Amino acid sequence: MRNSTGFTLVELMIVVVVIGILTATTIPIYQGYIVKTQIDRAVGELSAYKTPFEERAGSNGGVTNRDIGYTPSNLTTGSQVSDIAALNSDGSGWLQVIMGGKAHPNLAGLIVRFERSSSGVWECVFDKSAAATWKSSYLPSGCRL
């Protein structure tokens, strides 16, 4: 009787199938994680401009990119040329960026906006109309469509 060592072809094929199944299920989960992380990062970066916006609004100053210290993110299509903020005469206003640049392709065209009421209350709003592959699971808590 001969002792065999190694794996049979069937055993190797089973391993390949198992690896394929694991890969097929984990890649979409990983992609969703990347998208959510990038959205959270964009919201955080934009949120940082609320304080200088408030300072400028309180002193009746301007809210240009230079006034609020805006630095474009590599996740957005922002530039120093196009202002990301607007202040209305009644005290309301907004900060907004459009996802693009090095953001995940599912986020391209997504508008991330903070709207300020005339009483100074901020609200996070997303406009997904230009983001064709948007999924509701991407929406962070505290924000609305």
- pLDDT single digits (tens) 35-74: 999 999 999 999 999 999 999 888 877 799 999 999 999 9
Residue pLDDT, tens place only, 92-139: 999 999 999 999 998 999 999 999 999 999 999 999 998 888 888 899
Say which CATH architecture domain 9-144 belongs to. Answer: 2-Layer Sandwich (3.30)
Instruction: Delimit the domains of the chain by residue range.
Output: 9-144
Q: Report pTM.
A: 0.81
DSSP-derived secondary structure for 72-132: --TTB---SSS-SEEE-TTS-EEEEEEB-TTS-GGGTT-EEEEEE-TTS-EEEEEE-TT-T
